[in-house]
Chain A
């Protein structure tokens, strides 16, 4: 591999140029997970030097589990915080654990990261969805969101823990007692669950605007997620942007039926 700056060799062990020291793009700058039944895309955007959002997406026992986290960049180790959170939470959810335990596991994982500066414990937001054939359980802390886009209706399922852009709740060692919001939504018909970080919803006027962009692509989760990320980047990409799109009932479940 050669350096994107000077063309010299890059140290494979740490991904920095052996000559000029420039950091090379990491695997996290653009992440895509495509399960077929659901898909997620996370991107660094155009302004931030790294992607501090993280996402996890897995399917098990006819259910889809998704977690999105946004590292708080004014704290320290924001990228590690979000990754630790989604990795810990998804394991609990896939094992059949309740959302409240997934949040607790995520919080513990973030709180274990080192505190290198006073008052800047690594911290992040959290939103997860456990999606079965007929219900969607959402858990969240902070301002990452979950939406339900039905055939007619478009709803924000979460209520931001924030005053303006200042978070009022987060995960991490300095978060105090974390009390996640947990809500279960029972859709009346088919639709799409969308999880996203503020890198997307900052550019959305309302749930209806999201619905307009998602409905035409409801049966193609990967294309829908990619298009939404592309939309945010087209609007300036000022923040990291992460989107998970999970249709319900899942497209493959539908195709499996005779």
Chain B
């Protein structure tokens, strides 16, 4: 498997300017047919509320069985039931290799699950982390399903567990129904480099779990790091994944040597992701060229790239005022995610004026950038009067599922169009 690193930027800066922006596209290809060792933990919320309606638990059981069926032979796996504590449903200890027999036994155990008790997501993740022990060389992936808020442990406990679990495994999170907290689950998925999504109708769980597991089985390399070198005196303003979704990696940096640090990117299959790197450098003279950043990908012992982020100071305004379409696009997508989250928060807090302004701005940005998916979600929360100016009216009645879907998927970005 290899990684290609491409940099898109306008390297020209006016005299004295410090901020250098670039979009770094990383494309992974050449996945070999020999599958990489993998470990999978499926965490199912079995709190009392999963019985109301009962269809939720039934759908979760079916979805878990579908995920188990989607596991490759030999993948080490376990199923965890989460309440105010966590317990393994199958096997009785550690992980077991997927086979016809273990899949059958696991599904039988899942069918016997009953709901009862509270929700303590931190303890669920803690158990998953313990189960992955000894599988550090494998691709480690978890699926977490919940239907409620993390009510039965202190928020500080969850934060502490997340800090411990960071880098230990990747976790995709799903909220079923509409009684869970978007921000809470997003915190988990962001910390553990996974996705977060809503499955408002329990009937959708099975297909979603099957797709998620297939996606996890398609990964070939775990623990890939993005290494950023910057010159002496430079300051990294931010490093964000900007496609396929917005994930701020800035605070996840681990300094790994003089003038360089590593940002975790999780597991990769054949796929492409975009990153926005923003570096502040000490300006040089007009006519000087500076390397503002060198971006490499580290997978195991192999190093790919580097992509070169440059700065050239010029007194030619035609050059320095040019905007890289990639940087412009993703700057817009980042703002879009931000104004949706702010707008939905204001709406919930009853600040309708602020909500209208923020969501109006979101409609305008979504239309400008061709983010049709987000535009469609916005249209379920606001009546769009004019997408060009961002003139909107808040809908009087909005289904909770639609509001939560918009919030949850606010971080989904559209890919920049390349001519």
Contacts and interface: CB of A to CB of B under 8 A. Distances in A.
Contact of B287 (A5, A19, A48, A118): A48
Given A14-B308, A117-B10, A118-B419, A21 B314 contact: no
Contacts of A22: 231, 284, 288-291
A116 B324 contact: yes
Contact of A21 (B231, B313, B318, B319): B231
Interface of B, helix, strand, loop or mixed by DSSP: loop
A169 interface: no
Contacts of A19: 231-232, 259
B8 interface: yes
A73 interface: yes
| Size band of the interface chain A makes with B | 20 to 34
Nearest to B312: A49
Interface in B110-145: none
Which of B10, B232, B310 counts the most A-chain CB atoms under 10 A from its CB? B232
A37 B314 CA distance: 39
A23 B289 contact: yes
Of residues A20, A47, A115, A120, which shows the largest number of chain B Cβ atoms within 10 Å of its Cβ? A20
A49 B290 CA distance: 11
Interface string B281-305: 1001011111110100000000000
Nearest to A4: B288
A17 B231 contact: yes
Contact of A49 (B230, B233, B291, B314): B314
Contact of B322 (A20, A50, A120): A120
B308 A21 contact: no
A21 B231 CA distance: 5
Nearest to B281: A21
Interface string B216-250: 00000000000000111110000000000000000
Nearest to A48: B287
Contacts of B232: 19-21
A16 interface: yes
Contacts of A50: 289
B325 interface: yes
A73 B316 CA distance: 10
A23 B324 contact: no
Contacts, number: 61
Given A73-B319, A74-B319, A120-B322, A21 B419 contact: no
Contacts of A21: 230-232, 234, 281, 290-292
B324 to A, nearest CB: 7
Given A116-B324, A117-B324, A23 B290 contact: yes
Contacts of A117: 10, 322, 324-325
B289 A115 contact: no
Interface in A17-33: 17, 19-23
Nearest to A16: B291
B288 A49 contact: yes
A74 B318 contact: yes
B322 A23 contact: no
Contacts of B231: 17, 19-22
A191 to B, nearest CB: 38
A210 B33 CA distance: 67
Contacts of A118: 325, 419
A117 B322 CA distance: 9
Contact of A116 (B8, B284, B288): B8
Contacts of B419: 115, 118
Nearest to A23: B289
Instruction: With a 10 A CB-CB cut-off, give which of A17, A22, A49, A74 has the most chain B CB atoms.
Output: A49
The residue in A21, A48, A115 that gathers the most chain B C-beta atoms within 10 A of its C-beta is: A21
Residue of A14, A23, A74 contacting most chain B CB atoms (<10 Å): A23
Interface in B267-292: 281, 284, 286-292
Contacts of B287: 47-49
Q: Determine which residue in B230, B291, B419 has the highest number of CB atoms from chain A within 10 A of its CB, and name it.
A: B291
Contact of B289 (A49, A73, A74): A49
Contacts of B8: 116
Given A21-B232, A21-B290, 13 more contacts: A14-B306, A19-B231, A20-B233, A22-B231, A23-B288, A23-B290, A49-B289, A49-B314, A73-B319, A117-B322, A117-B324, A117-B325, A118-B419
Interface of A: 5, 14, 16-17, 19-23, 47-50, 73-74, 115-118, 120
Q: Which 7 A-B pairs have the closest CB atoms?
A: A21-B231, A23-B289, A16-B291, A49-B287, A21-B291, A21-B290, A19-B232
